[in-house]
Amino acid sequence: MNTVKTNTLNLTFLLMFFTLEISFTKSLELNIFIVLLSIIFLLYKKSWYGLIGLFLLPLIPALSTYWSVMVHGSGSSDAWLLFSRTFAFAALGMMFAFGIDLEELLLILEQKKAPQSFIYGILVVLHAIPDIKREIIGLKNASLLRGKKMSAFSPFLYLKTIFIAFNWRDQYTEAMISRGFDDQGKRQASLDFQTPKLYLLASASLIILGNSLLFISF
């Protein structure tokens, strides 16, 4: 068995912790800390699309929330809090999207005794995404041959895709069984995922630093 040192599970826990924390706390400083942490992380990963998404995707919801609270709410303090919280949630989402290998995370969860049928069911969906994309392109082309242009927002397009993917279920199940998959059987993993202590120490330090900001008045 090969040992793989990874930060995937540790980073996932850190993101989940901060997500729950900012949902139930009122700290402008903590929200700003998370956004800055995300910017540093995305710069380190050179995830330029993540940086663009961090600033653009939450911009309209954040401005709308700020304006709504300023006009009908309790004033600027709550408005800035909700404005920054919107960006903080987006920052955590971008860190997860561009910093987590989802397939690796699922394999780690399997190693931690998560249900195998759940793990491999999601893996099947992930590996089916290219086929689903090809089906969408095929449906669009078929629609053009009939003289109808199917937009990306057409519910009919996604409804047909869902039905097609649903029909693949039996084929994928048969393929998994033919490969020897047994959700009740024991599996011998080829990789042993381990989190280095340095990563755990770094996460603990970030949690302590972030929570210390809860006691600082901005």
Task: Give the whole-angstrom CA distance, residue 104 versus residue 120.
Answer: 12
**CB neighbour list of residue 67: distance below 8 Å, 6 or more residues apart:** 79
Residue of 112, 78, 97 lying closest to 9 (CA atoms): 112
Q: Are 78 and 94 in contact (CB under 8 A)?
A: no
Measure Cα distances from 96 to 25, 30, 40, 114, 123 in Å: 21, 18, 14, 20, 17
Distance CA 120, CA 173 (A): 10
The predicted model scores a pTM of 0.81
Encoded tokens for 57: 């995707």
The pLDDT score that the predictor gives to residue 41 is 96
pLDDT of residue 132: 79
pLDDT mean values, one per 10 residues, the chain (218 residues): 85 96 92 96 94 94 91 81 95 95 90 82 82 81 80 75 75 69 67 89 94 75
Under 8 Å between Cβ of 173 and 117:
no
> What does the DSSP 8-state code read for residue 151?
P
Question: Cα 111 vs. chain centroid, distance in angstroms?
Answer: 20
The residues spanned by each domain of the chain are 2-100+194-215, 116-182
Give the pLDDT of residue 217: 52
Q: Which helix (H) or strand (E) element contains residue 145? A: helix 116-145
